[in-house]
Amino acid sequence: MAQRILIIDDDASLRRVLEYNLEEERYEVFTAASGEEGMRLFEEQQPGLVITDLKMPGMSGFDVLRQIKEGSPDTLVIVITAFGAVETAVEAMRAGAYDYITKPFNREALKLTVRKALAFTGLSSENRRLKEELAERFDFRNIVGMSDKMQRVFDVVRRVADTEATVLITGESGTGKELVAKALHSLSSRHNGPFVPINCAAIPRELLESELFGHVKGAFTGAVKDRAGKFQLADGGTLFLDEVGDLPVDLQAKLLRALQEREVSPVGGEAPRKIDVRVLAATNAELDQAIEDGKFREDLYYRLAVIPIHLPPLRERREDISLLVRHFAGRHGGAQVRFDDRSLQILREYSWPGNVRELENTVERLLILRRGDTIEPEDLPAQIGRRRAVAAGTKVLNLPDEGYSLEELEREAVLEALERTGWNQTAAARFLRIPRHTLLYRMEKYHITQGEKKQ
Ligand SMILES: Nc1ncnc2c1ncn2[C@@H]1O[C@H](COP(=O)(O)OP(=O)(O)OP(=O)(O)O)[C@@H](O)[C@H]1O
Ligand SMILES: [Mg+2]
Q: How confident is the model at residue 442 (pLDDT cuts 50, 70, 90)?
A: very high
Q: Does the pLDDT of residue 124 top 60, yes or no?
A: no
How many angstroms separate the alpha carbon of residue 340 from the centre of ligand 1? 25
CATH class of 148-311: alpha beta
Burial class (CB in 10 A: 0-12, 13-18, 19+), 398: exposed
pLDDT score of 23: 92
How many angstroms separate the alpha carbon of residue 175 from the centre of ligand 1? 5
pLDDT score of 330: 87
pLDDT score of 213: 95
CATH architecture label of 4-129: 3-Layer(aba) Sandwich (3.40)
Q: What percent of the chain has pLDDT over 70?
A: 91
Q: Is the CB of 364 under 6 A from ligand 1?
A: no
Q: Is the CB of 266 under 6 A from ligand 1?
A: no
Q: What is the mean pLDDT of residues 321-328?
A: 90
Q: What is the mean pLDDT of residues 13-34?
A: 93
How many angstroms separate the alpha carbon of residue 326 from the centre of ligand 1? 16
Q: Is the CB of 175 under 6 A from ligand 1?
A: yes
Q: Is the CB of 357 under 6 A from ligand 1?
A: yes
**334-454 has the same fold as 148-311:** no
Task: Out of 113-127, 264-278, 395-409, give the one with best mean pLDDT.
Answer: 264-278
Own/partner long-range contacts of 63-67 (Cβ < 8 Å, ≥24 apart) = 63/35, 64/8, 64/35, 64/38, 64/39, 65/92, 65/95, 65/96, 65/97, 66/95, 66/96, 67/39
For atom 23 of ligand 1, which residue has the closest CA? 174
Which ligand has the minimum distance to the alpha carbon of residue 284?
1
Q: Is the CB of 121 under 6 A from ligand 1?
A: no
How many angstroms separate the alpha carbon of residue 151 from the centre of ligand 1? 16
Rounded CA-CA distance 59/80 in Å is 15
Q: What is the mean pLDDT of residues 149-164?
A: 91
Question: How does DSSP assign 32-80, residue by residue?
Answer: ESSHHHHHHHHHHH--SEEEEES--SSS-HHHHHHHHHHH-TTSEEEEE
pLDDT digits (tens, 9 = 90+) for 183-213: 999 888 898 889 999 999 988 888 899 999 9
Question: Structure pTM?
Answer: 0.62
Q: What percent of the chain has pLDDT over 90?
A: 49
CATH number for region 334-454: 1.10.8.60
Rounded CA-CA distance 96/174 in Å is 30
Q: Is the CB of 143 under 6 A from ligand 1?
A: yes
Tell me the best of 357, 359, 362 to mutate to test the pocket of ligand 1, counting ligand atoms within 8 Å of each CB and taking the most.
357
Residues with CB under 5 A from ligand 2 (ion): 177-178
pLDDT digits (tens, 9 = 90+) for 29-80: 999 999 999 999 999 988 989 999 999 999 999 999 999 988 888 889 999 9
Q: Does the pLDDT of residue 372 top 50, yes or no?
A: yes
pLDDT digits (tens, 9 = 90+) for 252-280: 999 999 999 999 999 998 889 999 999 99
Q: Does the pLDDT of residue 105 top 90, yes or no?
A: no
Atom of ligand 1 nearest to the CA of 143: 3
Q: What is the mean pLDDT of residues 288-317?
A: 93
Q: Which residues contact 92 (CB under 8 A, 6 or more apart)?
A: 54, 61, 62, 65, 79, 81, 100
Q: Is the CB of 103 under 6 A from ligand 1?
A: no
For atom 9 of ligand 1, which residue has the closest CA? 176
How many angstroms separate the alpha carbon of residue 409 from the centre of ligand 1? 26
What are the sequence ranges of the domains in the chain?
4-129, 148-311, 334-454
Question: How does DSSP assign 119-162, residue by residue?
Answer: HHHHTGGGHHHHHHHHHTTTEETTEE--SHHHHHHHHHHHHHTT
How many angstroms separate the alpha carbon of residue 114 from the centre of ligand 2? 39
Q: Does the pLDDT of residue 396 top 50, yes or no?
A: no
How many angstroms separate the alpha carbon of residue 360 from the centre of ligand 1? 9
For atom 16 of ligand 1, which residue has the closest CA? 176
The neighbouring-strand residues paired with 227 are: 215
